[in-house]
Amino acid sequence: MWRYLKRLIIGKPLKTLDEGNQSLSKFKALALLSSDALSSVAYGTEQITAVLLAVSASAMWFQIPVALLVLILLAAITLSYRMIIHAYPSGGGAYMVASTNWGRNLGLVAGGSLLVDYMLTVAVSVTAGTEAITSAIPALQGQTVPISIVIVILVMCLNLRGVRESASFLMVPVYSFVVMISLMIIIGLYNIITGQVEFSAPLAVGHSFAGMSIVLFLRAFSSGSSSLTGVEAISNAVPNFKDPKPKNAATTLAIMAIILGFFFAGITYLSYWYGIRPNGQVTVLAQIGIKTFGHGIFFYLLQLSTAMILAVAANTGFSAFPMLAYNLAKDKFMPHMYMDKGDRLGYSNGIVSLAVGAIILIAIFNGQTDKLIPLYAVGVFVPFTLSQSGMIIHWYRERGRGWIAKSVVNAIGAIISGALVLILFGLHFTNVWPYLIIMPALIYMFLKINKHYRNVARQLRLVSEQPIQRVNYSGSTVIVLVSNVTRVTAGAIDYARSIGDYVVAMHVSFDTDPTKEHRTAAEFKAEFPDVRYVDIHSSYRSITAPTLRFVDVIAKKAKERNHSTTIIVPQFTPKKGWQNILHNQTSFRLRAVLNTRDDVSISTYYYHLKE
Amino acid sequence: MWRYLKRLIIGKPLKTLDEGNQSLSKFKALALLSSDALSSVAYGTEQITAVLLAVSASAMWFQIPVALLVLILLAAITLSYRMIIHAYPSGGGAYMVASTNWGRNLGLVAGGSLLVDYMLTVAVSVTAGTEAITSAIPALQGQTVPISIVIVILVMCLNLRGVRESASFLMVPVYSFVVMISLMIIIGLYNIITGQVEFSAPLAVGHSFAGMSIVLFLRAFSSGSSSLTGVEAISNAVPNFKDPKPKNAATTLAIMAIILGFFFAGITYLSYWYGIRPNGQVTVLAQIGIKTFGHGIFFYLLQLSTAMILAVAANTGFSAFPMLAYNLAKDKFMPHMYMDKGDRLGYSNGIVSLAVGAIILIAIFNGQTDKLIPLYAVGVFVPFTLSQSGMIIHWYRERGRGWIAKSVVNAIGAIISGALVLILFGLHFTNVWPYLIIMPALIYMFLKINKHYRNVARQLRLVSEQPIQRVNYSGSTVIVLVSNVTRVTAGAIDYARSIGDYVVAMHVSFDTDPTKEHRTAAEFKAEFPDVRYVDIHSSYRSITAPTLRFVDVIAKKAKERNHSTTIIVPQFTPKKGWQNILHNQTSFRLRAVLNTRDDVSISTYYYHLKE
């Protein structure tokens, strides 16, 4: 049943060779990898104006210079990541670049930041998408958390189906959003130019106001930088592109940056001109939409496409997280299971982990976008800083054609990003302090896992300082566990004789019903007269302790005879899976304790019921 | 770690022979088994007055005749259950009596009703207890569900420690409640007799009022009958008493009934005299407490003891449910695991199941006591009716001394209980309809489980119409699964040779890295030149499908040679448990699919890492 359900939701397994076809064209890649970055404009301008309005309405014109600085940062980051794509075409992004150039530990800081960040991407995008819905349909207010969780699960299922199919599915919302926002900006600017909308800003650019200060400017800038989250996604996913992978990826990144810059500039300018003020009920973007389109069908289309792109922006995380987890697992910093590809060739464990993490974040923060954004920004700009400064080292090492010019570009990006991190810690500390707890914990976990894997590999190696001890057994001793005398017992004894030179049957009895115990012994001896039958008496209810004691004695004797020791647990399997819960789990419990013994193998003899 | 935690919470394992000492004196049994019944007075009177007030304040005097009828019912049920205790000293209560006299199906109706009912007992008692707390401490309002869940878990842990210790622990709240309510009634009556409190009832007993009708009377009566829930608990737990078990149990029941009757009568009379009106904030009992004691220390002691007895009333369910589940499991209507005693000789699975069920009920009904009570009453009075009518059949079959008199007592109980069930369905249908869905589902499950167990027993029996086929194998074929060549592989091969006459190693390879596959093959052949090594190529990511295909081929050949077939899964176990999640679960998945094959045993070779 479960298998059919899985097939229905996830699709039929793909052959490993099908993998090549899962590559992305630029058009599809833009849809799959840019939704996070593009959708950031839905909340970026609002973050800036909210900071400014908290001081005074007169401060609102500051959004224009702040936006200009954000655009400069965007340009620097884009140029920087284009270089990274060409220099590291195998993907891995900030983690790869920082590890290679800054060394393992700073690489892990970048990797850890991004892991958490992708979870925040999913959480923030989905909750912001839900806010876009509730801006249009107030009746749904208060249902943010359940709506968000359902969306996360839907996106997770899409991703378990595999990369390409998700892309096809997600093109509609991404390109609808691009069309709607373009339309809104063009109509808005046309109306302004033709003089149909009057200038409504409280104060024009350049006027001084009370509270005007560099700190205010930096606060607003650091909040607005959340518009740039998601720009790095393309550089992590280079191997997903069609050949030539680096060129296609770099072109896609450039296209995305241009669209993003145009949207952010246009929206901020309209917000300034219209004199929009953020409030708790209707988002800034929705307010601009109403001013531009009126309360008609176009406004609802705008909200719908915003909600859809935000909901699927989460998808950027679902493309990038499993890839990063794969890279960390390959380097033995995360569990190997993140390297297992699912039936549909996606890294299922990464996809599921991300969804679980995002749902937990949504639940903890009760679906409140604003609380999550500063932490989200720190998680993004720490790896930005590390990867861009790492690139300077890279250029210096290579010293190829024009390396100084390239280094300068990366240096500008690194300096602005690094400054942003400092500003976020200085001016938004109440929201970003969890970073200082999460990161050390993650790094500790990475290092601990790494140490364990290296430890295990050393112990398992055939050739090492400690020479391997091969054993040439002269026979085998077999213990058959008997709870009662049935066809299962008979089959297990027959099997035991085929593999064992010495077979002994063992039964654990309790005080409660001595006649029953005697009957079991008599039945066994009647059916198997030539097999030794040992009845172990237990004063406790536990069957495991006396079994262990007996096994230890027999195993010791076997060792003296140079025998191997096998314990056979006879078990019948009912016809239908659910019926297993009807039979006692004793054999399961026994296996769980017996596996602690050295030189003892545990064998399960299965008797399959036919009805 | 987990084992120490378990030891700390649950205590050290008890020997089976310790069981005798776990028996209860009358004094302790009263605490352990009567909390449900006695605590019912905390909400019983309120249920009556709430129904009456909904019609008119003038209707309030009806509570006196309604209370009288409830007391008659209490007397009938008590006499009836005393007879049941003597007739069926092994416990099992309504389930046992109904099965024996009415036959299997009606017995299952009684048993199923009680199972659900004990969950409702826990849910209702705990939420009502939480209401008593919030009546005294309004600041805690809105936290009903989490408080309730914590209490359920606490009571569960107490019960996992074993019967007797729970009793010792629970005597304090039960006897405090007895003292506080007795005090309240005595002081209240003294004040009335000495004329210190004026008569405040809206209308004295006997006056007619608008809306006076038999339907109103029956509605109030059926709601008030919730005061009698829990009376049956003692009859289910007779084997827990000290010898002579039936006599002690019957005496305890009589003492409990007298206390219960006195409390219910006293509280209802005070409620009538004081003219108390139920409201959503402060319970009726708390209002009576304030009128009697004032807003001082005695009022808070009353609330505290009420909350405590209600919270531990849940414990009645925890004594009765596992016992009933045991009886149903013994008769093969519920999974055998309900017959397993835990380390502390309690039926752990029953205890845990009950807690889980109660927590689900609390969560679904959002901690609202009132919604649960009618369903609770139906669940109680259906088995009351069946057991008491069953007793008439019992007396008729035996026809001992005075059987007609005994039958009359049981008949009165059966008729009132049966009428109550009809009234509940007629007048409270909106709250009790789930019973009509749950019961058929439970009965279906009971019968399905029963059929399965009988089916399995028939198939496993050594002696049956289908003669058993014993096999005398002439050798054994062993397949060793190899993922890479390490010390684990070496150990597994050595072991395989000790049990196998023919050993073959099998490796599954994927397209992705052919050089690695060749290296693995070369390494294997260098280390084990005399073992056949088969490399199976898989086009899919799945390792299970090609393994199964290969195993089927080998098993077929083995059968032709009259060999048994064993698959060895080599596995290393890391030093610490948590490290298991770091290693891939392939061997676990393989075992899960290989166990579907007939005549194939699966053996795990464990290699224990030392560091």
Instruction: Give Cα A5 to chain centroid, integer Å.
Output: 23
Checking if the pLDDT of B290 tops 50, the result is yes
Checking if the pLDDT of B266 tops 90, the result is yes
Contact with chain B for residue A3, Cβ under 8 A:
no
The model's pLDDT over B411-435, given as tens digits with 9 standing for 90+, comes to 988 998 899 999 999 988 888 888 8
Checking if the pLDDT of B82 tops 80, the result is yes
Residues 459-488 in B contacting A (C-alpha not used; CB under 8 Å): 459-462, 468, 470-473, 475-476, 478, 485-488
A600 contacts B601? CB cut-off 8 A: no
Determine the Cα–Cα distance for residues A313 and B509; give it in Å rounded to an integer.
37
Nearest residue in chain B measured CA to CA from A454? B611
Confidence band for A580, pLDDT divided at 50, 70 and 90: confident
The residue with greater pLDDT, A476 or A346, is A476
Please spell the DSSP secondary structure of A379-409, one letter per residue: HHHHHHHHHHHHHHHHHHHH--TTHHHHHHH
Mean per-residue pLDDT, A471-488:
89
Residues 492-521 in B contacting A (C-alpha not used; CB under 8 Å): 494-495, 497-500, 510-512
Contact with chain A for residue B605, Cβ under 8 A:
yes
DSSP 3-state helix, strand, coil percentages of chain A (rounded to 5)? 70, 5, 20
Q: Which of A440-444, A494-498, B362-366 has the lowest mean pLDDT?
A: B362-366
| Structure-block tokens of residue A36 | 């996070």
B14 contacts A585? CB cut-off 8 A: no
Confidence band for A146, pLDDT divided at 50, 70 and 90: confident
Residues 287-316 in A contacting B (C-alpha not used; CB under 8 Å): none
Checking if the pLDDT of A185 tops 60, the result is yes
CB pairs under 8 A between A and B: 210
Q: Name the most confidently modeled range: A181-190, A382-391, B199-208, B406-415.
A: A181-190
Checking if the pLDDT of B167 tops 90, the result is no
Nearest residue in chain B measured CA to CA from A494? B471
In which element (H, E) is residue B606 found? strand B600-608
A497 contacts B473? CB cut-off 8 A: yes
Mean per-residue pLDDT, A497-510:
89
Instruction: Give Cα B376 to chain centroid, integer Å.
Output: 15
Give the CATH number of domain B31-453; options: 3.90.1300.10, 3.40.50.300, 1.20.1740.10, 1.10.8.350: 1.20.1740.10
Checking if the pLDDT of B17 tops 50, the result is no
| pLDDT (0 to 100) of residue A16 | 44
Please state whether beta strands B475-481 and A600-608 pair in parallel, antiparallel, or not at all (unpaired). unpaired
Contact with chain A for residue B611, Cβ under 8 A:
yes
| Residues in chain A closer than 8 A to B345 (CB atoms) | 541
Contacts of A16 (CB under 8 A, 6+ apart): A345, B510, B511, B512, B538, B539, B540, B541
Mean per-residue pLDDT, A57-61:
86
- Chain B interface disruption, residue of A494, A539, A572, A582, most B CBs within 10 A: A582
DSSP code, position B103: -
CA-nearest of A99, A123, A93 to A446 is A99
Average pLDDT, chain A: 84
| Residues in chain B closer than 8 A to A582 (CB atoms) | 335-336, 449, 452-453
| Residues in chain B closer than 8 A to A539 (CB atoms) | 15-17
Task: Write phi, then psi, for A177 (nearest 5 degrees).
Answer: -65, -45
Please give the class, per CATH, of domain A2-14+22-453.
Answer: mainly alpha
Contact with chain A for residue B452, Cβ under 8 A:
yes
- Residue A196, classed as helix, strand or coil, is coil
Determine the Cα–Cα distance for residues A547 and B207; give it in Å rounded to an integer.
76
| pLDDT (0 to 100) of residue B42 | 87
The model's pLDDT over A303-355, given as tens digits with 9 standing for 90+, comes to 999 988 887 788 778 877 888 888 888 888 988 888 876 655 567 888 999 99
How far is A333 from chain B, CA to nearest CA, in Å?
A: 10
How far is A582 from chain B, CA to nearest CA, in Å?
A: 5
The residue with greater pLDDT, B593 or B602, is B602
**Range(s) of chain A covered by CATH 1.20.1740.10:** 2-14+22-453
Number of H helices, E strands in chain B: 22, 5
A611 contacts B455? CB cut-off 8 A: yes
How far is A589 from chain B, CA to nearest CA, in Å?
A: 13
CA-nearest of A44, A41, A36 to A370 is A44
The model's pLDDT over A60-111, given as tens digits with 9 standing for 90+, comes to 888 999 999 999 889 988 988 888 888 888 765 788 888 888 988 899 999 9
Q: At what angle do helices A63-87 and A369-398 cross, to 10 degrees?
A: 50
Share of chain A above pLDDT 70, in %: 92
A452 contacts B572? CB cut-off 8 A: no
Checking if the pLDDT of A393 tops 80, the result is yes
Nearest residue in chain A measured CA to CA from B473? A498
Exposed/middle/buried for residue A315 (C-beta within 10 Å: 0-12, 13-18, 19+): buried
A495 contacts B452? CB cut-off 8 A: no
Contact with chain A for residue B585, Cβ under 8 A:
yes
Checking if the pLDDT of A23 tops 80, the result is no
A497 contacts B500? CB cut-off 8 A: no
| pLDDT (0 to 100) of residue A57 | 84
Contact with chain B for residue A602, Cβ under 8 A:
yes
User: How many CB atoms are closer than 10 A to CB A405?
Assistant: 10
The model's pLDDT over B521-580, given as tens digits with 9 standing for 90+, comes to 888 898 888 899 998 887 766 778 888 889 999 999 999 999 999 999 888 888 777 777
| pLDDT (0 to 100) of residue A188 | 93
The model's pLDDT over A225-257, given as tens digits with 9 standing for 90+, comes to 888 888 877 887 788 788 888 889 899 999 999
Considering only CB atoms, B566 lies closest to which of A579, A583, A603, namely: A603
| pLDDT (0 to 100) of residue B186 | 94
Checking if the pLDDT of B260 tops 90, the result is yes
Contact with chain B for residue A456, Cβ under 8 A:
yes
| Structure-block tokens of residue B216 | 């109103």
Determine the Cα–Cα distance for residues B246 and B234; give it in Å rounded to an integer.
10
Q: At what angle do helices A63-87 and A93-102 cross, to 10 degrees?
A: 70
| Structure-block tokens of residue A324 | 């990063």
Contact with chain B for residue A182, Cβ under 8 A:
no
The angle subtended at Cα A229 by Cα A223 and Cα A231, nearest 5°, is: 140
- Residue B161, classed as helix, strand or coil, is coil
| pLDDT (0 to 100) of residue B35 | 83
Checking if the pLDDT of A180 tops 90, the result is yes
The model's pLDDT over A267-310, given as tens digits with 9 standing for 90+, comes to 999 999 998 888 877 888 999 999 898 888 899 999 999 988 88
Task: Write phi, then psi, for B567 (nearest 5 degrees).
Answer: -110, 125
How far is A498 from chain B, CA to nearest CA, in Å?
A: 6
Enumerate the β-bridge partners of residue A396: none
B584 contacts A511? CB cut-off 8 A: no
- Chain B interface disruption, residue of A340, A498, A551, most B CBs within 10 A: A498
Contact with chain B for residue A336, Cβ under 8 A:
yes
B511 contacts A459? CB cut-off 8 A: no
Contact with chain A for residue B16, Cβ under 8 A:
yes
A468 contacts B487? CB cut-off 8 A: yes
Determine the Cα–Cα distance for residues A399 and A320; give it in Å rounded to an integer.
31
Instruction: Give Cα B189 to chain centroid, integer Å.
Output: 40
B600 contacts A601? CB cut-off 8 A: no
Task: Write phi, then psi, for B506 (nearest 5 degrees).
Answer: -130, 135
Contact with chain A for residue B56, Cβ under 8 A:
no
Nearest residue in chain B measured CA to CA from A12? B540
Residues 104-143 in A contacting B (C-alpha not used; CB under 8 Å): none
Determine the Cα–Cα distance for residues A65 and A60; give it in Å rounded to an integer.
10
**Range(s) of chain A covered by CATH 3.40.50.620:** 475-608
A606 contacts B606? CB cut-off 8 A: no
Determine the Cα–Cα distance for residues A336 and A325; give it in Å rounded to an integer.
10
| Residues in chain A closer than 8 A to B596 (CB atoms) | 573, 608
Amino acid, single-letter form, for residue B163: V
- CATH code of the region B475-608: 3.40.50.620
Checking if the pLDDT of B19 tops 80, the result is no
> Would you say A474 and A561 are in contact if contact means Cβ atoms under 8 Å apart?
yes
**Range(s) of chain B covered by CATH 1.20.1740.10:** 31-453
Checking if the pLDDT of A129 tops 80, the result is yes
> Would you say B36 and B233 are in contact if contact means Cβ atoms under 8 Å apart?
yes
Checking if the pLDDT of A20 tops 60, the result is no
CA of B132: how far to CAs of B84, B135, B280, B397, in Å?
Answer: 34, 5, 12, 48
Task: Write phi, then psi, for A56 (nearest 5 degrees).
Answer: -175, 150
How is the beta sheet containing B502-509 ordered, strand by strand? Answer: A532-537, A502-509, A475-481, A563-573, A600-608, B600-608, B563-573, B475-481, B502-509, B532-537
| pLDDT (0 to 100) of residue B180 | 94
